Amino acid sequence: MLFNVLGPLWCWKRPAWRVVHLATLGSTVLIMALRGVCPLTELENHFLARSDPSASHAGGFIARFLERIVYWEVTPGALGAATGLWLVLWLALYVRLWRRERS
């Protein structure tokens, strides 16, 4: 989540990382559009269940600890649309940077 939001700070001078950032944003938008669950949440739940079955929970790390701070009671559709706009913004800016770097 932090890489999706703050990734441009890391990727600005590192062109190879821009592709990783766009792929991360794109996969996030896809997961939200399909109403899926983040693979990292699934992995977290798997390891929690293996270490202590009573410790597993229905939501992921974000849902448990940061949901009120992150989502502000926004509908999933609005959150998905905002993430999609963030993707489009950075795609446009990275394309502009790549063109400028080529010339």
- The pLDDT of residue 62 is 60
pLDDT-based confidence at 5, cuts 50/70/90? confident
- Number of residues that make up the chain: 103
pTM: 0.63
In a domain, 11, yes or no: no
In a domain, 9, yes or no: no
Which structure tokens are listed for 95? 């394309």
Give tens-digit pLDDT for 6-38.
888 888 888 889 999 999 999 888 888 887 777
Contacts of residue 12, Cβ cutoff 8 Å, sequence gap at least 6: 97
pLDDT-based confidence at 39, cuts 50/70/90? confident
In a domain, 1, yes or no: no
Contacts 24+ apart (CB under 8 A), 9-12: 11/94, 12/97
Rg (CA), the chain: 16
Q: The domain containing residue 55 runs over which residues? A: 18-102
